[in-house]
Amino acid sequence: MHANRRGTSMEQPRQMKQMRFKNKVAAILAFTLLSGTALLYSNSTINSIEAAAVPASNLAVNYNANKAVSKTAAREITMQGISIGMTEAQLVKKLGQPARKDMSEYGFKWYIYNKDYKKYLQVGVSNGKVVALYSNSTGWTSKKGIKVGTSRTQVEKLYGKPIKEIKKGNTIYRYNHVPNSAIYAVDNTYTTVFYDKHRKNIVTAVQVIDKQTELAFKSFHGKPSKELQQSFERQLLDLANAFRVQMGKKPFKADANIANTARKHSQDMSKRDFFDHKNPDGKSPFDRMDDDNIEYTAAAENIAAGQTSAIIAHEGWINSLGHRENIVGDFARLGVGVAFGGDMEVYYTQNFYTP
């Protein structure tokens, strides 16, 4: 997601401040909201999504767990031996208990397997069945031979043209494709292939959602809750660390103090309806860190707004050079804060620092 409120592409360059600390860096990420009877998101991570002919205020989560799994289990994509349609018991027998269970925007639970970031995996489970998969590691395969590192040209040769719309009830959701992802209807799933434009558009991650689960989700965003907020925060830490490990870097250490700083900024953007590193009081990320007694020699901040999930926010950041540099930079600690509300529905902040 890389657009500002004026609907034009923008990236703030790295900024250096010479005070009593060094290497203070900030990058910016925004998301577009257009007026009218529908929401239009300019989204360079997954796709632009438009709900045709339905006012945004009438869009609501309509998730029915009992109808979540397609009768025909998807086998095109397998992640560490797990595929759509398997039972929860089969999943646990194969991979063991997850590190935790996170809420998803769809309403199912993500089983998070993060003990080894080289094998990072999220498995969506609802009503005792696997309904979703996501990984940005190398531990997945496809029958057609697609994997991390496959070129976009090869994916398109094997899968053809991405889909342009999905009809959900009386609403048509249109998908306007962008350079760094594509959605395919494969084996009763909607499979999103994410590309890394900074590595010649190779495949960097994949998300698989059971067809009936996707069709039941008649909204852009999940129902706001403390559980979903905390789930997004935890996932953004894991996603950053899995990507860092993939790039040969050490994982960040989670930092609750700076996560509180990040969360307060997301809450402030939500409550006062602004999107910027500098708040209406003129305080920068580094002022906020100073206010919270964060002692640092180097620090940075990424922000995002409107993205429908932690996965989408993360994939957008890594395809934006300034944000990517922060994620793979030489910082030691990371704190993530998420808040719902405001014009953009959801706001994300990542604060990085080295003591």
Any idea what the CATH number is for the domain that residue 94 is in?
3.40.33.10
Q: Is 92 exposed, middle or buried (0-12, 13-18, 19+ CB in 10 A)?
A: middle
Number of structural domains (the chain) is 2
pLDDT tier, 178 (very low <50, low <70, confident <90, very high otherwise) = low
- Amino acid letter, 146: I
pLDDT single digits (tens) 92-151: 999 999 999 999 999 999 999 999 999 999 999 999 999 999 999 998 989 999 999 999
| Torsion angle defined by CA atoms of residues 128, 220, 256 and 21, in that order, rounded to the nearest 10 degrees | 150
Residue 306 pLDDT more than 60?
yes
Statement to judge: residues 296 and 197 lie in one domain: no
The pLDDT of residue 176: 60
85 vs 21, residue with greater confidence:
85
Residue 285 sits in the same domain as residue 319: yes
Q: Does 216 have pLDDT greater than 50? A: yes
The residue-averaged pLDDT of 10-14 equals: 32
Please check whether residue 324 lies inside any domain of the structure: yes
pLDDT at position 259: 99
pLDDT tens for 145-169 read 999 999 999 999 999 999 988 999 9
Mean pLDDT to the nearest integer, 183-201: 95
Note whether 275 and 151 are same-domain residues.
no
How much is the average pLDDT of 55-83?
Answer: 54
Place of tokens 């080295």: 354
Answer yes or no: do 117 and 211 share one domain: yes
| Residue at 37 is within a domain | no
Segment 70-89, tens digit of pLDDT: 444 447 999 999 999 999 99
Domain that holds residue 296: 226-354
> Does residue 115 belong to any structural domain of this protein?
yes
Q: Is the pLDDT of residue 19 over 60?
A: no
pLDDT class of 247 with cuts at 50, 70, 90: very high
- Residues 157 and 176 grouped into a single domain: yes
Name the E strands within the chain: 24-26, 40-41, 48-51, 77-79, 100-103, 109-113, 121-126, 129-135, 140-142, 165-168, 171-176, 181-186, 189-196, 202-210, 253-254, 298-305, 333-340, 346-354
The answer on 244 and 187 residing in a single domain is no
Q: What is the pLDDT of residue 179?
A: 60
Where does a domain end: 185, 216, 247? 216
> Are residues 192 and 276 located together in one domain of the fold?
no
208 is a domain residue: yes
Give me the percent of the chain exceeding a pLDDT of 90.
Answer: 73
160 and 288 co-located in one domain: no
**Which of 198-226 are b and which e, b meaning 16 or more Cβ less than 10 Å from the residue's Cβ?**
eeebbbbbbbbbbbbbbbbbbbbbbeeee
Distance CA 90, CA 79 (A): 13
- Residue 309 predicted with pLDDT over 60: yes
User: Would you say residue 325 lies in a domain?
Assistant: yes
pLDDT value, residue 8 = 24
- Which of 53-67, 130-144, 335-349 is least confident? 53-67
Q: How high does pLDDT run on average in the chain?
A: 82
Examine residue 81 and state whether it is found in any structural domain, yes or no: yes
Domain stops at, among 192, 216, 240:
216
Inside any domain, residue 84: yes
Under the banding of pLDDT at 50, 70 and 90, the label for residue 217 is very high
pLDDT above 90 (res 29): no
H-assigned helices in the chain: 88-95, 152-159, 211-216, 226-246, 256-272, 285-291, 310-318, 321-327
What does the pLDDT read at residue 175?
Answer: 67
pLDDT band at 63 (very low <50, low <70, confident <90, very high): very low
Q: Which residues pair with 155 in a beta bridge?
A: none
Q: What is the mean pLDDT of residues 341-349?
A: 96
At which of 167, 187, 216 does a domain end? 216
**Which residues neighbour 290 within 8 Å (Cβ) at sequence distance 6 or greater?**
none
Q: Based on the domain organization, do 263 and 305 belong to the same domain? A: yes
Beta bridge partners of 302: 350
Residue 207 and residue 84 share a domain: yes
Task: For residues 195-217, give the mean pLDDT.
Answer: 96
Residue 8 belongs to a domain: no
Q: Are residues 257 and 135 in the same domain?
A: no
Distance CA 192, CA 311 (A): 11
Q: Which amino acid is at 168?
A: K
Instruction: Tell me the average pLDDT across 49-59.
Output: 28
Alpha-carbon distance of 40 to 50, in angstroms, equals: 5
Is 191 in the same domain as 265?
A: no
